[in-house]
Amino acid sequence: MSTEQMIQTVHAYIDRLSHGTAEQIVALYADGASVEDPIGAPVRTTREELIEFYSIMTNLDSRAATLNWVRAAGDTAVFEFTLVTGTAGMSFEITPVDIMVFDDEGKIASMRAVWAQEDLTQL
Amino acid sequence: MSTEQMIQTVHAYIDRLSHGTAEQIVALYADGASVEDPIGAPVRTTREELIEFYSIMTNLDSRAATLNWVRAAGDTAVFEFTLVTGTAGMSFEITPVDIMVFDDEGKIASMRAVWAQEDLTQL
């Protein structure tokens, strides 16, 4: 697990948030990985829960994610991205900071997202 | 543990990095807290190890920490700061991203710092 590999996976994650299916996003996760998004929400731990979670977003009319910055060290990457989604003629923007811990094979072992309700704005 | 409390503690932490003793910095941590700085380095877990770790910095000729941004949700704060230190007539700058998880009493339960050797620059 090099810093480069983690950063590549973060780029793949952001790309799939814009263009991928829920299954393609979840394929970046290790088996048994956990997702807490936002931190404080119930932790999702099964493949089915992860796919259900990302399907909420992939089922929207439009979505576009942009990576603002990424930092990585050891087994962990931290990055900020802006996600613009469109549904029912309205557009929303949110800018989370995600914390990803990786396993030895370079798969995402856990993701915890830092954002609050007030970070979600209607455009 | 509110978001406000976590952010206040982050401000206190940054202030003590500039002006506090190692003991005053470590007083922000819960008993049994762990520090992994940078992520990938051995995890420090005892009070003595934490004080020893921060003493390296507090023993330098000069130090000044500036908070660049902070985000918080649930039990976790993420923030970036710039630390300028001076020793033996030389100045160094580093800009880590720290991940802090808090306990119910608002003490820091764990800190993991994201930075790499190449983030340390001589001014």
Residues of A in contact with B75 (CB under 8 A): 39-40
Residues of B in contact with A97 (CB under 8 A): 71, 78
Determine the distance in angstroms separating the CA of B58 from the nearest CA of chain A, rounded to an integer. 24
**pLDDT profile of chain B (123 residues), mean per 10:** 94 98 98 97 97 96 97 97 95 97 97 93 93
Instruction: Please provide the CATH number assigned to the domain covering A3-116.
Output: 3.10.450.50
Would you call A38 an interface residue with chain B, using a CB distance cutoff of 8 Å? Answer: yes
Determine the distance in angstroms separating the CA of B89 from the nearest CA of chain A, rounded to an integer. 29
Find where tokens 């003493």 sit: B55
In this prediction, residue A117 carries a pLDDT of 87
CATH class of B3-122: alpha beta
Cα-Cα-Cα-Cα torsion B42, B19, B78, B105, nearest 10 degrees, comes to: 90
Residues B98, B79 contacting (CB under 8 angstroms): yes
- Strands of A1-123 (E only): list them: 29-36, 62-73, 76-87, 90-94, 97-102, 108-114, 121-122
In this prediction, residue A118 carries a pLDDT of 86
Residues A65, A81 contacting (CB under 8 angstroms): yes
**Burial (CB count <10 Å: 0-12, 13-18, 19+), residue A86:** middle
In this prediction, residue B1 carries a pLDDT of 77
Q: Distance between CA B21 and CA A107 in Å, rounded?
A: 40
Residues of B in contact with A40 (CB under 8 A): 73-75
Structure-token pair, residue B40: 């990938």
Q: Distance between CA A62 and CA B112 in Å, rounded?
A: 35
At residue B60, what is the residue type? L
Residues of chain A scoring pLDDT < 50: none
Buried b (16+ CB within 10 A) or exposed e, A27-37: ebbbeebbbbb
A115·B71 Cβ contact <8 A: yes
Point out the residue among B36, B72, B115 whose CB comes nearest to the CB of A114. Answer: B72
Per residue in A44-73, pLDDT tens? 999 999 999 999 999 999 999 999 999 999
Domain segments of chain B: what residues?
Answer: 3-122
